[in-house]
Amino acid sequence: MITNKGKYIGINQRVPFKVLNNGIIRLLDSGELSLEELKKDIREYTKGENRVNKASQYAYQILSRPEIMKTINTKFNKESYNLLSYSDRQALILCLVALTYPIAYDMLISISSAFKVQPQINRALINSKTSALYGSNRTLDIAIDALIPMIIELGAIKRVKISIYEIEEKKAISNPLISEILIYTDIKLSGSKTILLEDLQVRPWYMYYSPEIYINKLSILKHSESRLGGGYIGLK
């Protein structure tokens, strides 16, 4: 699905957090990603076989991100993944969703500017800011319908009443690798080659989750010195 501004959307059906979380657990346990198991989980939340098929395909795509899932498979097993905090798992899955469907990243970045000046935003503002990037059309409206409940479940925003949203309290990431994945996602989707370490406090992607970086123990990122102080973080 390409919009009239040439940007890819690709999603029009909600994929619940629990479906993606269970999919990761099964993948770590068996080494395989089963579309049929994803469909079985989706049916608990979605009615209609066509919608189930679409949502399960989206889930399969999200959990097939090779550059991240290879790292997850290497660094975690079923038991260690289950020991991650709930918010760390939310942040990981948010990154997987954004890397698969960058509209999720773009939407969160665009509304972060509104949250800096007001505590609540409405659906019309979300539509307006996202359509400035993707164009205003029915495809975008459907995608936003799918993504809003997903980013609520993934701990970025909360609904306070119909069509009114607030930002969730920022949560610290406790697992070093999840912190790296959070930063990896920002670097990759922003088109930056590197970001300053000190900018982790001010870049809009980190309004929702706060990473903790150990520069001597990086796995998928690299640290470069800088004359400005803390140095740069970039992709390996």
pLDDT in tens, 100-141: 999 999 999 999 999 999 999 999 999 999 999 999 889 999
pLDDT value of residue 65: 84
> Who contacts 84 (Cβ-Cβ below 8 Å, separation ≥6)?
76, 92, 175, 178
For residues 66-75, average pLDDT: 91
* pLDDT tens figures, 16-63: 999 999 999 999 999 999 999 999 999 999 999 999 999 999 999 999
Cα distance between residue 62 and residue 56, in whole Å: 10
pLDDT value of residue 66: 76
Does residue 2 have a pLDDT over 70?
no
Query: pTM of the full predicted structure?
Result: 0.95
* pLDDT tens figures, 144-192: 999 999 999 999 999 999 999 999 999 999 999 999 999 999 999 999 9
The more confident residue out of 171 and 228 is: 171
Count of residues in the chain:
236
Residue boundaries of the structural domains of the chain: 103-167, 173-235
* Selection from 72, 93, 70 nearest residue 22 by Cα: 93
Cα distance between residue 211 and residue 97, in whole Å: 18
Helix (H) / strand (E) element for 178: namely helix 176-190
Residue that has been written with the tokens 């930002």 in this structure: 167
Phi, psi of 55 (to 5 degrees): -65, -40
* Selection from 202, 205, 204, 186 nearest residue 194 by Cα: 186
Residue that has been written with the tokens 């399960």 in this structure: 56
Class of domain 103-167: mainly alpha
